[in-house]
Amino acid sequence: MALPLPQLLKIMVDEGGTDLHITTNSPPIIRVHGQLRRIEHPSLSPAETKQIIYSILNDSQKYKFEENWELDFSFGIKGIARFRANVFMQRGAVAGAFRRIPYEIWSFDKLGLPPVVASLSTKPRGLVLVTGPTGSGKTTTLAALIDKVNNERSVHIITIEDPIEYLHTHKKAMINQRELHADTKGFPQALRSALREDPDVVLIGEMRDLETIQSAITIAETGHLTFGTLHTNSASQTINRLIDVFPPHQQDQVRTQISMNLEGIVTQALLPRADGRGRCLGVEVLLPNAAIRHLIRDNKIHQIYSSMQTGQEKYGMITFNQSLANLYFKRQITLDLAMGVSHNSEELNEIIKRGPSTISSQLKATYTTSTVGVGAGAGAGAGAGAGAGLGTNPGTNPVRGKQFQDY
């Protein structure tokens, strides 16, 4: 007989995992430190997967799922954690993926983010983007930024999410969180009405299409601090993605808008630690200065990386290779891994040859001690360089002590 979902989720949390997968002809599978492991449980039949997943759906969600064959939602289990879920059909059977969302919103120090990232929350207006592959902790970083605004500024924050993951309470700021299909019918409608709701800060859970990106740029342009996410792997790629979604005849205008309103891009990836005890954060930070804004307007995006290299000490910018070298010098990742995930391994090799003295002060100030707990995006590992081998015996991959758990 299949274990109920709350019990399976508790096993995942107790094992230090971040994701639970329910599918047919397999035992439930959890992800720990980026790697998938089967738990000790009989393989699930199609009837059992449906029973497990339907046990947490209300009638409205069941109807919506049976209409669309997929469903996003979030929920909490008292005493365990909150979870983000995606339920879908595969080979005619019900399946689901459940992501753990900690109740606690972590500080920038705990997340291993450089101090310059925290400064983005103090911007009065403009567009701030957190990017990276699935499972790189984008939502966790955004939650930390929003929490800092909430603690320090008397402003009105509106978030538009699919679904709501981290729950924020009113602190110094007032915060309204809107969830797709529960509080609004879609991102475009919510973004159109956001400007009529007297916001100071707007968070867009995912900038997934032209209309959403256009709305985000407009909101930033009208004097609001706007946070958003994209699935891109570098700052330059992010700028290209923003521009390329628009038709050619609009791209010159969009370049001008981005050059004037972009305030920062944080690109991140989670990398397996050299000691096998969790993962650590690699990060790239772009903070547009006059030179970079000029390059964006003139469609010279390929030259931005050079400006980032020369603007590290003066402006606090960080290249991904600098971040990788810093992690390697601190023995947090292996040289092979650093070379494997680098976008320019030759440059990384040169940085490493020159030694730790070349690392920027921003990176040297980054909190690097392993931290307690697991971030919402800390375990998906899809783009963080971790292997995804399936361990058949949970005992072969023991849970580590709390001081070594993931970001």
How much is the pTM?
0.83
pLDDT at 301: 97
The string of pLDDT tens digits covering residues 122-145 is: 999 999 999 999 889 999 999 999
Distance CA 173, CA 256 (A): 32
In single-letter form, the type of residue at position 272 comes to P
What is the percentage of the chain residues whose pLDDT exceeds 70?
90
Among candidate residues 308, 313, 291, 297, the one with its CA nearest the CA of residue 362? 313
Distance CA 34, CA 272 (A): 8
Q: At what angle do helices 210-221 and 251-261 cross, to 10 degrees?
A: 50
Q: Is 161 exposed, middle or buried (0-12, 13-18, 19+ CB in 10 A)?
A: buried
Contact 391, 38 (CB under 8 A): yes
Distance CA 20, CA 7 (A): 11
Among candidate residues 108, 231, 81, 229, the one with its CA nearest the CA of residue 167? 81
pLDDT at 38: 96
In single-letter form, the type of residue at position 380 comes to A
Distance CA 135, CA 281 (A): 12
Residue 301 contacts by C-beta under 8 Å, 6 or more apart in sequence? 236, 239, 240, 295
Distance CA 221, CA 219 (A): 5
Contact 83, 374 (CB under 8 A): no
Residue 144 contacts by C-beta under 8 Å, 6 or more apart in sequence? 105, 106, 107, 108, 111, 113, 118
- The residue behind tokens 């995930």 is 341
Q: Count CB atoms within 10 A of the CB of residue 100.
A: 26
Q: Which residues of the chain have pLDDT under 70?
A: 367-407
pLDDT at 360: 80
Give, for 225, the enclosing helix (H) or strand (E): strand 225-230
Q: At what angle do helices 235-244 and 251-261 cross, to 10 degrees?
A: 140
